[in-house]
Structure 1
């Protein structure tokens, strides 16, 4: 597949998964992996496309690492097929697959220089020896490590070691690069910076990246699509915006970011749904295209940043509820307000700190109004 072009006026949208004629680079077809009586991956079918930055996200034990190990060839599926470029790679040994894997530990050779670490795999490949130097130089430029080519791994920082490991993994120009928690050893600020470096390098090389992570923010930042996993199954596969704004279940809504989950009974009028969650309290007004029936038990999910905190209800919002500030979390640029409703429900609202702290509008025990629109949240039936 050709690299998307970028017109001067706009960036081309990269979404091959929406094109029914696009051929996937990777296809999992009804893949199951069992270890004795334990099912790590359960009848999974998924397509991953060329040039994608695909994230496998989920808690420990959900099957994401097993999935990656099967792609790399370190494990074979109990049932099903794994296709790479249309070819079943299950019988193909790991060293014969056009796939490379970057481990969390980086696995650099401590006695070799940065240059020698990057060249190590190339020297054992069929690349002509007179081309190895140019390829290593290209990888050093790509990862901005030219100045450190002669240093040993212990003489460079953790972030720089991460870049060397990435350069070594990309040196043989694999079709697919697998990254297993690649930024887990870095501190938060360096991890945030490196996420954007990874995205830039992936875009420049055109290599398909599949990353395994339990860090939601990391997956949402780097990925073209995110697969949220649980108990060996893909619960939802979508773009980061789709996962965050339109979760398909309470599990996904609760797993990604902060969210308020309110349970109640639905009353339906066309696309409008009222969620009755407590006696003597106005219902939550929402809009949905899901097939919901009157009286059905549903969950309503709304993100804290969608809710405004004010002295009076906002007239242009469909939902208003009064409560008392029970706790405040100050995070510098934003503050989280935990507001207790008369029904006993605790609701979180996120407000930007546009004023200095000394001029905060609300404090503990203040009575406030929470307001949000009818499209701010989603009604969930799973």
Structure 2
């Protein structure tokens, strides 16, 4: 998936969150934000480090935009404090913070050229003309917009307008850039291309980016770390591979990517547990370091790409028989929905490695699915 590509573009040593001596750029300390009787952010504590590309990910209403607005200065915490470079910024107005914000609609001035849009904030600060010219030229080069400098926003594409907004946001060299659903207006292909452009620009400038998004793939692609939010709380903060492969809770496992979740009863076994989950079905084997009580209720989460599908039974840690009830063809891979004897549906995926329009399995085929004990994730909540 694209996560691996995103990880490779970053230096392997960049992990200040694992360094006990590293000082965070941004510190949320016991932050709560209420609107009347509604609690949007509930006792939140979080550290974000310099040069991070940090993603706030969650469904609508989870509190991620409220967090961003407090960082920008448009909202103030009801309780707790927010520090930027060691300074409490809770009462500092937006125009006095070393923070800039890029909005979803880009908010470009339609009557100004690309060059003038980028220069606008610098002119408002009273910078000298030579300094403005030099900085705008640098931003145009960084965002590959040199030949569009004299055009108006309506004369360039959506992706180019997005880069103009980014260049304008970076022109004043903020310590922190906030991006509120910045790619939401772009089509899928352009959005994917722009994600990697954002990553390249962030690495070249060294600016700390905090992005708010509900798009899981976007967060997993661009971010050094992802914070998954739910009802005003952060339920897990980790790198994209850890979020995906080692979710801390049932909520995270279900929210991130595609997954099949099977509930059952845990029994201790060598190297982990067996999970009894349905009468007449073999128990599932899961390799796990969790410390669960004998007979505790639990869940096994298994990603479709970890599940193999065959016409005949094969030997593996977990082997189940079922019937294909649905097929999703996605070009590079196919997803099969396999109904088991108890009615439960498990998803399995096959990569389409050959140029063959015929599917290896079709509706109502009897098949066997299998996966190893290390592929499932055992969750207690």
TM-score, normalising length from structure 1? 0.96
Mapped to 2, the partners of 1:126 and 1:205 lie a distance apart of 23
Cα deviation, residue 372, structure 1: 0.5
Mapped to 2, the partners of 1:201 and 1:135 lie a distance apart of 15
Q: 1:347: which partner in 2? A: 346
Q: 1:3: which partner in 2? A: none
Taking a change above 3 Å as real, the CA distance of residues 130 and 13 of structure 1, as seen in their structure-2 partners, is same
RMSD between aligned residues: 1.1
Mapped to 2, the partners of 1:49 and 1:11 lie a distance apart of 15
Q: 1:161: which partner in 2? A: 161
Matched position secondary structure for 1:112: coil
Q: 2:320: which partner in 1? A: 321
Note if 1:96 corresponds to 2:96. yes
Note if 1:50 corresponds to 2:47. no
Cα deviation, residue 357, structure 1: 4.0
Note if 1:151 corresponds to 2:151. yes
Mapped to 1, the partners of 2:313 and 2:18 lie a distance apart of 41
Cα deviation, residue 358, structure 1: 4.2
Q: 1:75: which partner in 2? A: 75
Note if 1:254 corresponds to 2:254. yes
Q: 1:184: which partner in 2? A: 184
Greater Cα offset, 16-25 or 353-362: 353-362
Cα deviation, residue 278, structure 1: 0.4
Mapped to 2, the partners of 1:177 and 1:197 lie a distance apart of 15
Q: 2:232: which partner in 1? A: 232
Greater Cα offset, 207-216 or 265-274: 265-274
Q: 2:6: which partner in 1? A: none
Q: 1:379: which partner in 2? A: 378
Note if 1:289 corresponds to 2:305. no
Mapped to 2, the partners of 1:283 and 1:160 lie a distance apart of 54
Taking a change above 3 Å as real, the CA distance of residues 151 and 213 of structure 1, as seen in their structure-2 partners, is same
Mapped to 2, the partners of 1:242 and 1:272 lie a distance apart of 20
| CA-to-aligned-CA distance 1:51-93 (integer Å, 9 cap, x gap) | 0000000000000000000000000000000000011011111
Mapped to 2, the partners of 1:11 and 1:139 lie a distance apart of 24
Cα deviation, residue 312, structure 1: 2.2
Cα deviation, residue 130, structure 1: 1.9
Mapped to 1, the partners of 2:269 and 2:333 lie a distance apart of 37
Matched position secondary structure for 2:131: helix
Mapped to 2, the partners of 1:15 and 1:313 lie a distance apart of 44
Greater Cα offset, 370-379 or 119-128: 119-128
Mapped to 2, the partners of 1:158 and 1:137 lie a distance apart of 21
Matched position secondary structure for 1:144: coil
Mapped to 2, the partners of 1:75 and 1:336 lie a distance apart of 44
Mapped to 1, the partners of 2:59 and 2:333 lie a distance apart of 27
| CA-to-aligned-CA distance 1:176-231 (integer Å, 9 cap, x gap) | 00000000000000000000000000000000000000000100000000000000
Deviation >6 Å, runs of 4+:
none
Mapped to 1, the partners of 2:357 and 2:140 lie a distance apart of 49
Cα deviation, residue 377, structure 1: 1.0
Mapped to 2, the partners of 1:270 and 1:335 lie a distance apart of 34
Q: 1:132: which partner in 2? A: 132
What pairs with 1:21-60 in structure 2 (closer than 5 Å)? 21-60=21-60
TM-score, normalising length from structure 2? 0.96
Cα deviation, residue 13, structure 1: 2.4
Cα deviation, residue 128, structure 1: 2.8
Mapped to 2, the partners of 1:288 and 1:15 lie a distance apart of 25
Cα deviation, residue 331, structure 1: 1.1
Cα deviation, residue 112, structure 1: 0.3
Greater Cα offset, 70-79 or 122-131: 122-131
Q: 1:6: which partner in 2? A: none
Mapped to 2, the partners of 1:148 and 1:186 lie a distance apart of 19
Cα deviation, residue 363, structure 1: 1.1
Q: 2:268: which partner in 1? A: 268
Note if 1:361 corresponds to 2:360. yes
Mapped to 2, the partners of 1:53 and 1:358 lie a distance apart of 40
Taking a change above 3 Å as real, the CA distance of residues 12 and 100 of structure 1, as seen in their structure-2 partners, is same
Q: 2:307: which partner in 1? A: 307
Q: Which runs of 5+ in 1 are unaligned?
A: 1-9
Mapped to 2, the partners of 1:324 and 1:256 lie a distance apart of 26
Q: Which runs of 5+ in 2 are unaligned?
A: 1-9
